Amino acid sequence: MKKNEGTIDRVLRVVAGMGLLSYAVFGGSAWGYIGIVPLFTGLVGSCPLYSILGINTCGKCTESAGACACGSRK
């Protein structure tokens, strides 16, 4: 999977995922287990939905290079 998430995006996903999982584990709703998704995508650095929509938040891509330092192609 190609990286398509920037640092801030990844950190926010990991924090949100951990928060949701904590909510589920410590007596909240079972819906909190949905936090696995943002946690996983944040740790991996790639979001399948971003790939489908053509979004790339890595911020290291340049027009002149034709490729991104994070591994995706322009």
Is 45's pLDDT higher than 80?
Answer: yes
pLDDT (mean) for 33-56: 95
Q: Are 32 and 24 in contact (CB under 8 A)?
A: yes
pLDDT of residue 18: 98
pLDDT (mean) for 7-11: 96
Is 72's pLDDT higher than 90?
Answer: no
Q: How far apart are CA 21 and CA 6, in angstroms?
A: 22
pLDDT, mean over the chain: 87
pLDDT of residue 62: 56
